[in-house]
Structure 1
């Protein structure tokens, strides 16, 4: 993108490949950890460019802790440092660091990479690795994709819901997943996040006793339908 065009509102986007008419532009410029002060103190950075910490949020300097968007986390799927600058992660960092400073036994156990956002009426939730990311990491990864509903098909108001599962071929270890829904049904991703944190498999997902009532789910929950597709 080289320029926005319009009179009083955006009407087109100018790119290196030409001009695209539009009435809406979403700009995601990205962020970077603000670590200049830490570097000046001699605090070590990790491979992500954020501050390296252990599970107690300690840095390489005695009595110096890091928490929040400046600090790395441990990725439970990749098994290495990962930068996930989200509010809930920052709060857990801070709670862990505060407890340790106060002399309590506390550890931050890492992240699965779980996130959710809303685009107009659509909720998009992800956790773990996408198929593309898993293949790039060297996994023999495959995926399944299913369309279901967030309630019984006959229940008034039920809406479409989509599930994608990414798993390792052979072991069937879960590597990631996504849920897209028109509402809170997307929070099903949290069940996948819990399994990822424990190295769960497709079989573990199939064994879950998930809640059912027609306003909230089909008899077979969409997560279970997706897991069955692996077989």
Structure 2
């Protein structure tokens, strides 16, 4: 039996939404339960009901699809549908299921739907926002082998500032410079202690101790985490309050 996906379509052009709805008619496993003409409207829908799958444009007024992806719940899958191919790298760094170019060919859409993973159960909302002690996570003094030019160096987790998702790889920012590992951000997150590392968005995990200060992100209502090495990391609106709480112990 095929999986069933409650589906949301997000595009600021009504004709584009109608065309995608037409293309999805032969795929009853994608039940279109809502549509939105803006990212703001989409976020309101996502806050009110469980959505398994989002098809969304990238270039939209005020909040782009790339920015919207950072605020989509972790359990929700998403596919970018756009007239531009220049955003593909950004899309896959955010763990998009696929990247479709307009006009969408029915055969190409069918391949996208065929590769959809099973819907995930939405996590239960926790009443306690304090980070919980890690279970089976790596300790701060654990070392990982990273390559810097011709040098292989063992770098302790406490020396790492940031993990950045780049497709199937991750860039690792350390006190020795930048390196790369072949691993997804989700797999890395499973190994990190949430008492010391924080996932700011689908694309980034930062070490809490490396944060110098926080600035408001006026454009989208989130935050900018400024690290001690000068990097500016976007914190999604969904994660901003939780990160603030990390620094509100007293």
TM-score, normalised relative to structure 1: 0.28
**Structure ID, larger Rg:** 1
TM-score, normalised relative to structure 2: 0.27
